[in-house]
Structure 1
Amino acid sequence: MITAQAYRGKKIGVFGLARTGVAAVRALEASGAGVYAWDDSEVRRSAVSANAVHNLYDVDFNTLDAVMLAPGVPLTHPEPHSLVKKCIASNTQIISDFDVFEAARQDLPSHKVVAITGTNGKSTTTALVGHMVAECGKPVAIGGNIGTGILALDPLVEGGVYVLEMSSFQLDLTKSFSADIGILLNVTPDHLDRHGDVAGYVRAKKRLFDMQMDSSAAVVSVDDDHCAALIPMVQGRVVPISVERAVVGGIYISNGELFDGLDGDPVSYGDLGAHAPMLLGSHNWQNMAAAYAAGRLLGFTGERILQAFGNFPGLAHRQETIGFIRGVRFVNDSKATNVDAASRALRAFKDIHWIAGGRPKEKNFSALAPLMERVKQAYLIGEAADAIAHDVGAHVGITDCSDLSQALERAFANAVEGDVILLSPACTAFDQFADFEVRGAAFRKLVESIEGDAA
């Protein structure tokens, strides 16, 4: 774990004892802090030492130096959590585990930190950057919003690189984290119930750059207006990236061909499809452009970076090719829980049998209608089935299905060699599954059962 000597002797409240909170309690205790930990769930409270458990609703916050909140605790919308109000009333600082990590950095061996955020693609990009760093011969640790809580990571030896995914929730809470390389992939409206409106969501993403030093670098996509508007506000070096147009002094991809303009005139590194067959679609071009820029800023050569991209295995539930049965490709994109994410998958394939639906995040799916030319048939499930059918039904055949199993069964019955059966729901899984991972695992299991029958 990572400890922060700056917290020795301080009294820190920790509210929320899921993965991040438990890691924070253990790291703070090991740092010599007095920890006051609480979760509304008795089961979660049992995950930390009994000595650390204190009901924060009853603790006098004037005796605490700071309170660390779980990322999901609302700060302002739809209304502040009662413990947030208590912090405000007592003028007690609210922090995140990234603040503790920042305090720990002064005691860690010399290192670099790459932090990635964005509405879509941040997990894939985080994993890709981590993979690239390892393939290029540097010690690496990957954590944050993906996988391991940041304080549960093992400290790296000198020259290591911490690659960290950050959500808007985490950025909202963090006060003093300064990434050496900050990456903003894209911004489309999301989590508006937490941030109040689009402007609030953009402000949360912007905090990644607000906290950076003048010596830092920001890798920013210029392909959406929200991201492009932030560039003049960045303190350090800006490396623009694009998959839509040429950019001066940055990285851009045109028709799948990568151009590196960091050292002057752009140099072509060839077709990405040949280099990275597991990273299909223009959204993955954006992920690769960002990762490539980070690699170059870390001192790696373009050739070495692209070699690393070539053996990247991809992430589960994110356009994950599960396999082929009788020439039909099965793709698990269960992580696509909003319209924008689903549109990225639909653009990446053709001859698609599209399985979609669940609990909607958005009220309107009409943005997907133009992509139905790539879809042979849509198989709709869950609470959003009627809304999706209403918005795209004039452009594609619709099959109403009772559940995921029936949708897959009907899709495979209609598919022919060369077709793609794509689970890209454009909705959360919460109406039928615990989360997108459980939904994706169920899809994989169903595909494996078909494979067994077809053998």
Structure 2
Amino acid sequence: MIPVQGVEGARVAVLGLGRSGLTAARALRAGGAEPVCWDDNPAAREAAEADGFLCMPFKTEDHFDGVARLIVSPGIPHLYPAPNPVVALALEAGVPVDNDIGLFFQSFATRDWDSFDTTPRVIAVTGSNGKSTTSALIHHVLAQSGRRCQLAGNIGRGVLDLEPAEDGEVVVLELSSYQTDLARSLTPDVAVFTNLSPDHLDRHAGMGGYFAAKRRLFAEGGPDRAVIGVDEEEGRFLAGQLSQGPADDRVIRVSVARKLTGPGWQVFARKGFLSEYRKGKQVGSIDLRQVTGLPGAHNHQNACAAYAACRTLGLAPKTIEEAFHSFGGLPHRSQTIAEKGGVRFVNDSKATNVDSAAKALAAFRNIRWICGGLEKDGGLDALAEASANVRKAYVIGREAAHFAMQLKVEAEVCGTMDVAVAKAAAEAEPGDVVLLAPAAASFDQYDNFERRGEDFAAQVAKL
């Protein structure tokens, strides 16, 4: 655990007692603070009280008397579409609002670092799609190369649950827009922006607010190096804002849409080949077609971003390439879970929006597509072009009929996962891919996308 610095003797409120909230309370206590906690869920409060924490509701502005800061869990809105009532009270009382990411960056560096030969570093990854795979891939490459490293953030482990850094260690953080939007401290050494597509628009009051939340990691953080996906206008704009000119190699531009040229530092993938250029000359390349754990153009973008981040740490192209080949991919992200009779079953339950689903569809041919769920803003029109690889769609979810009507391919309303898997498998022929890429959230039928992917895998196992 990383004890929070600068809070000794302070009374700090913690709102939300899930994984990150409870870990933050423990780290605050370890730093000498007095955490006062609340969660609307009685079970969460009971767990906190069993751990020795005081729980009390914050119902009036007076309840914030003597409180130095409010720490808010990521799922709790602090501005849009409307602030949580407790957050609103804190702001009325003039109490600063922060999250565990802010506490981490406030507390990560210690006096022990004065005796280190190599200063620990933080690589922070954000973006709409691919940030989990990119983060895990960076961590995998570092581990395979023998570097001390830890992985945390939105990918599963709370940031304050990490061990204090050792000499030369690298911490890799996956950060969502919910996390970057609120953190008062953001100081990564290397920051990565994968891409941007519409998501969480209600939480950020539109695309402008969503991009602004991502941009804070770079504008507020001032990283030494910035790896920027430039296949969208927002990425190109961000790279332009951070760069002092075309030859500024503090900004590494990444693309899977075109060859990048110029005197700066670029990493791009075309037709399955990754290329690295510096000062107009090629200095590295990898044949990504042979990397089984990274199928499709969207994963090639992840590979380019991870490659660039690792190169900023001085790793050789050959070392990175060798590690790529041993990367098995992440669960629920273009994950091959079975093959039977020449039919491949792929779980991409993490494709919770239209853009990520379109990228999954572009990665395979002869697709039996299982899709549907809680539809997000923006409709499904963007799936039309990617649907060329689809032989038939099998639609699940409570609004399956409405979802199916918007598709440009033959679609059958199945409703539930067991029916969809059984029908897709029965109709599949050798060479087909039964792909779960929902293009929708899971909350109409499942607690989260992981549960949806696990159900898919369970139904496939029954075959």
Matched residues in 2 for 1:73 and 1:51: separation? 20
Identify which of 338, 358, 366 aligns with 2:353.
338
Aligned twin of 1:147: 156
Q: Within 2, Cα distance between the matches of 1:50 and 1:127? A: 34
Matches within 5 A, 1:90-129: 90-107=93-110, 109=113, 110-129=119-138
Question: Which shows bigger deviation, 397-406 or 227-236?
Answer: 227-236
SS of the aligned residue for 1:250 comes to: strand
> Residue 226 of structure 1 aligns to a residue in which SS?
helix
Which 5+ residue runs of structure 1 have no aligned equivalent?
451-455
Task: Tell me which moved more, 307-316 or 60-69.
Answer: 60-69
Amino acid at match of 1:233: Q
- For normalisation by structure 1, the TM-score amounts to 0.95
Deviation at 1:363, TM superposition (A): 4.9
Q: What's 2:338 paired with?
A: 323
Query: Which residue, 394, 407, 417 being the options, matches 1:404?
Result: 417
Partner of 2:116: none
What pairs up with 1:127-138 in 2 under 5 angstroms?
127-138=136-147
SS in 1 for 2:328: coil
- Give the structure 2 partner of residue 453 of structure 1: none
Q: Alpha-carbon deviations, 1:168-194, whole Å to 9, x = none?
A: 011111111211000001111111111
Match status 1:66 vs 2:69: yes
Runs of 4+ in 1 over 6 A off after TM superposition: none
Distance change >3 Å, CA 212–CA 235, structure 1 → 2:
farther
Q: 1-side partners of 2:21 and 2:241: how far apart?
A: 32
Cα shift at 1:86: 1.2
Pairing 1:278-297 to 2, within 5 Å after superposition: 278-297=293-312
1:240 aligns with 2:240: no
* Aligned residue identity for 1:319: S
Distance (whole Å) between structure 2 residues aligned to residue 389 and residue 74 of structure 1: 32
User: Which residue pairs with 2:326 in the alignment?
Assistant: 311
Q: Answer whether contact 2:153 2:173 (CA < 8 A) is retained.
A: yes
Residue 53 in structure 1 maps to residue 55 in structure 2: yes
Q: Distance in 2 between matches of 1:343 and 1:372?
A: 8
1:160-199 to structure 2, matched below 5 A, reads 160-199=169-208
Query: 1: CA distance between counterparts of 2:324 and 2:309?
Result: 13
CA distance in 1, matches of 2:174, 2:279: 28
Deviation of residue 256 (structure 1)? 1.1
Structure 1, residues 308-343: CA drift from partner, whole Å, max 9, x if none?
111001110111100101111000111111111110
- Give the distance between the partners of 1:411 and 1:402, measured in 2 at CA: 13
- How far 1:283 moved relative to its partner? 0.6
Q: Report the Cα distance in structure 1 between the residues aligned to 2:279 and 2:326, rounded to whole angstroms.
A: 26
Contact 1:15 1:21 in 2 (8 A): yes
- Secondary structure of 1:378's aligned partner: strand
- Displacement of 1:264 in angstroms is 4.6
8 Å contact from structure 2 (residues 398, 415) kept in 1: no
Displacement of 1:233: 2.5
In the other structure, the counterpart of 1:426 is 439
Determine if the alignment matches structure 1 residue 200 to structure 2 residue 202. no
Distance in 2 of aligned mates of 1:8 and 1:235: 39
For the residue of structure 2 that corresponds to 1:307, the secondary structure is: helix
- Residue of structure 2 equivalent to 1:260: 276
**Aligned partner of residue 101 in structure 2, secondary structure:** helix
- Residue 216 (structure 1) aligns with: 224
Deviation of 1:268 after TM superposition, in Å, equals: 4.6
Q: Say what the alpha-carbon RMSD is for the aligned residues.
A: 1.6
Q: Which residue of 2 aligns with 1:39?
A: 39
Unaligned stretches of 5+ residues in structure 2: 114-118, 245-249
Deviation of residue 89 (structure 1)? 1.2
1:205-234 CA distances to partner (integer Å, 9 max, x unpaired)?
000001223x61110011001111112332
Deviation at 1:8, TM superposition (A): 1.6
Q: CA deviation at 1:382?
A: 1.5
For 2:55 and 2:388, how far apart are their aligned partners in 1?
56
Residue equivalent to 1:14: 14
Give the aligned residue type for 2:108: R
TM-score (norm. length: structure 2) = 0.93
> 1:387/1:367 Cα in 2 relative to 1: closer, same or farther (>3 Å)?
farther
Cα shift at 1:42: 1.3
Residue in structure 1 matched with residue 461 of structure 2 by the alignment: 448
SS at match of 2:6: helix
User: Is the CA contact (8 Å cut-off) linking 2:359 and 2:386 kept in structure 1?
Assistant: no
Aligned residue identity for 1:217? R
Assess if the C-alpha contact under 8 Å between 1:369 and 1:391 holds in 2.
no
Deviation at 1:235, TM superposition (A): 7.0
The alpha carbon displacement at 1:90 in A equals 1.4
Give the equivalent residue in structure 1 for 2:92: 89
* Letter aligned with residue 273 of structure 1: R
User: Cα gap change, 1:387/1:362 in structure 2, threshold over 3 Å: closer, same or farther?
Assistant: farther
Shift of 1:388: 3.2
* Matched residue, 1:371: 386
Structure 2: how far apart are the matches of 1:122 and 1:165? 6
Cα distance, 1:246 vs structure 2: 2.1
